[in-house]
Amino acid sequence: MSAPVFERIGVLGGGLMGAGIAEVCARAGAEVRVVVTTERSRGAARARLERSAGAAAAKGRISAEERDAVLSRVTFGTDLGELADRQLVLESVTEDENTKVKLFRQLDAVLTDPAAVVTTNTSSLPVTRLAEATGHPGRLIGTHFFNPVPAMPLVEITATAHTPEATVARVAEFVTAGLGKEAIRSTDRAGFVVNALLVPYLLAAARMAESGHADAADIDKGMTLGCGHPMGPLRLADLVGIDTLRAVAAGLYEESGDPAYAPPEIFTRMVEAGHRGQKAGRGFHTYT
């Protein structure tokens, strides 16, 4: 295996996306350090990685030796200072602008490599606004991965006016040659490419269920059997997470003012009831 574009990688966040990003980076041969906020989160992030890598080995996608190598390449911590020597830091925390900006400003004081690159996995927030809130706007770039990260082949890359073309090229090479993903480029606009098209579709399905026009099962069956979609929109909303989808939609609506992005009231009621989708066992559908 050739040396990865970035050999020392940091990941901020150990949820489904953060753990998935750590896994694919470790599969590429990089040494990965995941930083989370609490000891409990550290244990949960490690367990997610172990389950995912173990499942990949059980299904024959990677060998048992590769699984062990992946797990050996990833360490977990709670101190942001542990990322000081990283060449690349991939942020994948909650979709909240204030939280992300606070972390990026802390990284300004932590990273020692002047050529270090920082990426954000935001699916809706303006990358330029995040970059300009830091002391080094030229090193922040958008890399939007999709869930589940080890299985989904796409990454959206979003540069800003501050991003040197050499940085864009390094990140694109890392995504394609390093991780084996496909990359598409998007301007820094609401929703980039995928969510600009997908979110209004998911919200329209939620409004249809909310109005009583059809129930969730029939809406999903209509789109899978009638349009050939691999998954219905409400089951996909459950997979994304109702709370996550509501936050993404709210961010898109705030930036664009387009009513197609306005989160429906049913999302608020579902989140308040704890029906946050597949991860909670219940959303538009029920999961065991």
Give the residue numbers annotated as catalytic, written as ranges: 123, 144, 156, 195
Tokens in use for 169? 């090229």
Beta bridge partners of 91: 12, 120
Residues with Cβ within 8 Å of residue 76, at least 6 apart in sequence? 14, 33, 34, 35, 36, 42, 45, 46
SS3 call for 51: helix
**Residue 286: strand pairing partners:** 282
Output phi, psi for 17, to 5 deg: -75, -45
Of 182, 191, 187, 114, the C-alpha closest to 153 is 182
d(CA 74, CA 22): 7
β-strand partners of 10:
33, 89
Q: 62 in helix, strand or coil? A: coil
